[in-house]
Chain A
Amino acid sequence: MMNARESVEQVGEFVLSSVDGLGRFFNFLLEFFYWLLKPPYRIRNIFAEIYFVGNKSVFIIFLAGSFTGMVVAYQTYFGFQLINVDSLVGPVVALSLAKELAPVLSGLIVAGRAGAAMAAQIGTMKVTEQVDALEVMGISPVHYLAVPKIIAGTIALPLLTILFQFVGNVGSWVVGTKVFVIDEALYLSKVSEFMYMEDIYQGVIKSFFFGFIVASIGTYFGFQVKNGAEGVGQGTNLAVVWGMITVLVLDYFLTSALVRIL
């Protein structure tokens, strides 16, 4: 068994290395912003990366979105039916999707797919000296690799979030009107009665931040990779874990801020 002193030391070490890591991450972000607006603008790379992020995640977003919508509709219906407000299933699902479920779940999915892939790709380039090769050519790896990926993540996640919302609402509508036979016109009129554009904005604004942070974390852990193939695996893992945690934590702070602003 570990004695008390050892565990205190371990906690201390963990805290120190986390603070150190956080410092390095902020340095990385500073470097990103330094290069963000510097030419050459690699527009083609940005589009390729958007395609990459979308391609990695679109099918899963589609599945996750539709089943999330269906399941939430199901659960909500059983609650609401007790107090005879089952016609409100539509707006409740639509609101939950717009404000929370679509941006957060899309963020988690993109962290697991595209964030991981970014870390793996850059990590592999790091251990095979491709990153050094860029540097020796006088090209900043942050400029060439990280900037297009982070821009792409920031653009792609809102698009995926909107897709998630759309298929989620379709799923909910199918369950609500076909399984629970809520009147179709009533379902839609209630949605439009209770949904405002602000609700959609809130989710989309969040998803911009999530896209930015997930891609930043993915690329950052890619650049941190050392020690060969094993290191690439570790880096990928860290990118997923920290990407997901950050999405959830950031969600709280963004929500509390956006509720006041919007």
Chain B
Amino acid sequence: MSDENAIEISGLTKMFGKQTVLDSLSFDVKKGSITTILGFSGAGKSTLLKHILGLVRPTKGSISVLGRDLAKLKPVELMAFRRNFGMLFQYAALFDYMSAFDNVAFPIREFLKDSEQMVEQKVKDLLESVGITEMSFYKLPSELSGGMRKRVGLARALALSPSIMLYDEPTTGLDPITTNMVNELIADTAHKNKGMTSIIISHDVKASLKISDYVAFLDKGKIVEYLPVHEFEKSSNPYVRKFLDL
């Protein structure tokens, strides 16, 4: 494993019953980069993400994350290993019975032995860094707008300073202004946390071209194109073109 890669996947195949969802896929993600994985609905993007998180075991092939072969980790080790990841879910997945504050405090209280005073300081900093004001700290997720939920979800994902941030369709279903805001937030987060690797799963071509360093295109379970963003724009792969010209 080279030091330059945060993630190395080789020959990854995943079958659900008789359906081949990922087909001997190989793919490396550079450390510190923002990499977007584009693909049509049903291409296997979420499945790929779940493999990276070790939530799904491959049928064949290997996945290394930060130099560790996931297949060699015991379930309990894998669980602890996941703390290297932060993930922003499509609908934020905030715990709906907890305030914004408690959501962000949750991983800190679970895993760090911080005093409640320190927790409070950390949570305030995190929430402020994603643009949530004091006024909304104690609101429940149901009392927040979609965009604010995303911000809180991001703050929660960042709480334990992950080395790899994952975004599952961060802008799907948002209005154009909120979409812009979320994209800026992603770029901003990567910028503020030097060395953090960001992986974005998306259908949103324009935004990915704007904020990514690398873009990959997943089709029928294979990465059919994977290039630095400037070259990706000029790709001549017919499937990629179809997607780009939409």
Which A residues form the contact surface with B (CB < 8 A)? Answer: 40, 124-125, 128-130, 132-133, 135-140
Q: Determine which of A40, A132, A140 lies in contact with B93 in the assembled complex, contact meaning CB atoms within 8 Å.
A: A132
B107 touches A129 (CB 8 A): no
Q: Counting CB contacts under 8 A, is B94 at the interface?
A: yes
Smallest CB-CB separation from A134: which chain B residue? B95
Q: From known contacts A136-B53, A139-B110, infer whether A129 and B93 are also in contact, taking CB-CB under 8 Å.
A: yes
Q: In whole angstroms, what is the CA distance A125 to B89 when docked?
A: 13
- B91 near A128 (CB under 8 angstroms)? yes
B111 contacts across to A, CB distance below 8 A = 138
Given the complex, which residues of A lie within 8 Å of B93, measured CB to CB? 128-130, 132-133
Structural contact, A138 and B87, CB atoms closer than 8 A: no
Decide if B96 is an interface residue (CB 8 Å cutoff).
yes
Q: Are B79 and A133 in contact (CB under 8 A)?
A: no
- B95 interface neighbour in A40, A130, A138, Cβ under 8 Å: A130
Interface residue tally on B, bucketed by range: 20 to 34
Given A129-B89, A133-B87, A133-B89, A138:B94 Cβ within 8 A = no
Write the residues of chain B forming the contact surface with A, with a CB cutoff of 8 angstroms: 53, 55, 79-83, 85, 87, 89-91, 93-96, 106-107, 110-111
Interface residue from A125, A132, A138 paired with B79 (Cβ < 8 Å): A138
- Min CB distance B197 to A, Å, is 15
Nearest-CB distance from B202 to chain A (Å)?
17
**Whole-angstrom distance between the Cβ of A223 and the nearest chain B Cβ:** 14
Closest 9 CB pairs of A and B: A129-B93, A138-B82, A133-B93, A138-B79, A136-B87, A129-B89, A138-B83, A130-B93, A137-B107
Bound together, the chains give a CA A128 to CA B55 distance in angstroms of 17
Contacts of A130 in B (CB 8 A): 93-96
- Nearest Cβ on chain B to A39's Cβ, whole angstroms: 12
Query: Does B90 contact A129, Cβ atoms closer than 8 Å?
Result: yes
Cα–Cα distance between A130 and B95 once the two chains are bound (Å)? 6
B96 to chain A: which residues have CB within 8 Å?
124-125, 128, 130
With a 10 A CB-CB cut-off, give which of A40, A130, A133 has the most chain B CB atoms: A133
A138 partner residues in chain B, CB cutoff 8 A = 79-83, 111
On whether the beta carbons of B82 and A137 are closer than 8 Å, the reply is yes
Nearest-neighbor residue (CB-CB) of A137 within chain B: B107
> Is the contact region of chain B dominated by helix, strand, or loop, or is it mixed?
mixed
Known A137-B107, A138-B79, A140-B79; judge A129-B85 contact (CB<8 A).
no
The interface residues of chain A lying within 8 Å CB-to-CB of B95 are 125, 130, 133
Besides the contacts A130-B93, A132-B89, what 14 more A-B pairs have beta carbons closer than 8 Å?
Answer: A40-B110, A124-B96, A128-B93, A129-B89, A129-B91, A130-B96, A133-B87, A133-B89, A133-B93, A135-B79, A136-B53, A137-B110, A138-B80, A140-B79
Contacts of A40 in B (CB 8 A): 110
Q: How far is the CA of A40 from the CA of B106 in the complex (A)?
A: 14
Closest to A42 in B: B110
CB distance from A42 to the nearest CB of B (A): 10
Q: Give B180 Cβ to nearest chain A Cβ, in Å.
A: 24
| Distance in angstroms between the alpha carbons of A135 and B79 in the assembled complex | 8
CB of B104, distance to nearest CB on chain A (Å): 12
Known contacts A130-B94, A130-B95, A130-B96; A137/B89 CB under 8 A: no
Complex formed: what's the CA distance from A105 to B79 in Å? 41
Residue with the greatest number of chain B CB neighbours at <10 A, chosen from A40, A129, A133, A136: A136
Give Cα A139 to B80, complex, Å.
Answer: 8
What residues of A have a CB within 8 angstroms of the CB of B110 in the complex? 40, 137, 139
Residues of A within 8 A of B89 (CB): 129, 132-133
Residue of B nearest to A133 (CB): B93
> In the complex, A40→B87 CA distance in Å?
23
With CB as the reference atom, state the residue of chain A lying closest to B97: A121
Distance (whole angstroms) from the CB of B102 to the closest CB of chain A: 13
Chain A residues within an 8 Å CB radius of B90: 129
Contact A136–B94 (Cβ < 8 Å): no
Min CB distance B76 to A, Å, is 9
Shortest CB-to-CB span from B149 to chain A, Å, is 11
| Interfacial chain A residues near B80, Cβ < 8 Å | 138
Give the distance in Å from the alpha carbon of A190 to the alpha carbon of B107 in the complex.
59
Q: What would be 28 A-B contacts, judged by CB atoms less than 8 Å apart?
A: A124-B96, A125-B96, A128-B91, A128-B93, A128-B96, A130-B93, A130-B95, A130-B96, A132-B55, A132-B89, A133-B87, A133-B94, A135-B53, A135-B82, A136-B55, A136-B82, A136-B85, A137-B82, A137-B83, A137-B106, A137-B107, A137-B110, A138-B79, A138-B80, A138-B82, A138-B83, A138-B111, A140-B79
In the complex formed, the residue of A with least CB distance to B159 is A137
